[in-house]
Amino acid sequence: MKAYWLMIGLLVAAPSLSAKTRVTEQQVVTYAKAIDVAKLDPTLPSQRLDKWLQSGPAHLDTVTWELSDCDLKPLDSPEYVAPLCAKVRIKRGNVGGWIIITVGTFRDGISGAPRVNYVFAGPPDVFTRTPAVPVPTSEKLSDLPRLLDEAP
């Protein structure tokens, strides 16, 4: 009888042991929204990222959040550990874009200091225009308002 309960206990505990390194989209989004912008860009005053995007100098109309692989093509290597990012899709008027923020790895979950990979802003048709129009990007969150203002 004890062996039966031990087996049941192990079956119940096993998923929770492996789930420690699995991260959900909701966890990444919740974490990313709460990041202090001063940690992402020391030139900015301390404020939650979600609040800064809505009421800060960017004055965005729309902000959507999602889990991302940082828009990187995986390396063909057994040692490759995919980065874990939050992709923040933004829109102000007729200009849209996104911010990619590394928050950890898919193997380790949310870990280490978050960092901005890049900030992009441009018109909705920027990728389908012929000829291609150069679009400014940055690795600094504080450049977002300028990028939005200067978008072609």
Sheet holding 109-122, edge to edge: 62-68, 83-92, 95-105, 109-122, 137-138
The residue among 100, 113, 35 whose CA lies nearest residue 72 is 100
For the question of whether the overall pTM of this predicted structure is more than 0.85, the answer is no
- What are the residue boundaries of the structural domains of the chain, listed by start? 23-150
The answer to whether the beta carbons of residues 121 and 90 sit under 8 Å apart is yes
Q: What pLDDT is stored for residue 47 in this prediction?
A: 96
**β partners of residue 100:** 87, 118
pLDDT computed for residue 13 by the predictor: 43
Each of the 152 residues of the chain gets a pLDDT tens digit; together they read: 444 443 444 444 444 333 446 899 999 999 999 999 999 999 999 999 999 999 999 999 999 999 999 988 777 788 888 899 999 999 999 999 999 999 999 999 999 999 999 999 988 776 666 666 777 789 999 999 999 998 87
Residues 6+ apart with CB under 8 A from 18: none
Nearest-angstrom CA–CA distance, 21 and 139:
28
